[in-house]
Structure 1
Amino acid sequence: MELSDYLPILIYFAAGLAVAGAIFALSKLVRPRPNPMKALPYESGILPAAPVRQRFSIDFYLTAMLFIVFDIELAFLYPVAVTLRDDGLLGLVVLLVFVFTVIEALVYIWKKGALEWR
């Protein structure tokens, strides 16, 4: 393989960085400016006693990320199995290593308590 074979990938990567940078710069230019009138209470006229924006627990985000990771891994399990079907015993071994790795990761995060809501 020559270096010129990787030129399209380099162009794609550079274009991605340029688009991300342009979007970031544009968002800084056209962002809404703070308006004190919007901070005033409406309807009841009662001033809020606590900040309106409350933070979610990190457990919510951690559980959501773990769900996405394991969901994607299991969604790819069938296409990988179909693709490796023609490889015979080697394909089966590769698939079993993948499944074992997923199960091992699940047992690890389970023992760490990442799936427990506090």
Structure 2
Amino acid sequence: MITHYGALLLYVVVAFVVAFMVANSSERMGPKAPGGLKGTTYESGIVPEAPVKYFSVRFYRVAMFFMIFDVAVMSLYPWATSLKTLHQAGMLKALAFLVIVAVAFMYVWNRGGFQWD
């Protein structure tokens, strides 16, 4: 019993050590003396004339809605694969889940959450 927890503790410790090493490796391996040509643009070599345009908040909102509904649809896969063993109770629970997702989708649609402009 203790060996299972020991393995879990070892896994967590190794994960934290690796994450710490990755996070700090850029500081150790990065440039030590910034300045001169290191601070200039490198993609095209042309100094930008206009300020950088950022994406609208609507873009992020639509992306988040997509992720939410995509995860909701993906959660139906385990239900579909075990439909024969779930019987009627499983069908009713999945139907309730789909109704909740559909109501949320209609709410977002009516509020204009999927419109770009």
Q: What's the TM-score bracket when you normalise by the shorter of the two chains? A: 0.5 to 0.7
Unpaired segments ≥5 residues, structure 1: none
Q: How much has 1:91 moved relative to structure 2?
A: 0.6
Q: How much has 1:42 moved relative to structure 2?
A: 9.3
The letter for the 1-side match of 2:50 is A
Q: How much has 1:46 moved relative to structure 2?
A: 6.6
The structure with higher relative contact order (CA 8 Å, sep 6+) is 2
Counterpart in 2 of 1:37? 37
Q: Does structure 2 retain, via aligned residues, the 8 Å contact 1:41–1:48?
A: no
Measured on the aligned residues, the alpha-carbon RMSD in Å equals 3.3
- TM-score by length of structure 1 reads 0.67
Percent of aligned pairs sharing the same letter: 32
Counterpart in 1 of 2:25? 26
Q: How much has 1:96 moved relative to structure 2?
A: 1.0
C-alpha deviations, 1:27-72, integer Å up to 9, x for none? Answer: 33333564442526998x8753223x43211221221222122223
- TM-score by length of structure 2 reads 0.67
Secondary structure, counterpart of 1:116 in structure 2:
coil
The letter for the 2-side match of 1:112 is R
Rounded Cα–Cα distance in structure 2 between residues aligned with 1:19 and 1:64: 31
Unpaired segments ≥5 residues, structure 2: none
Aligned residues: 114
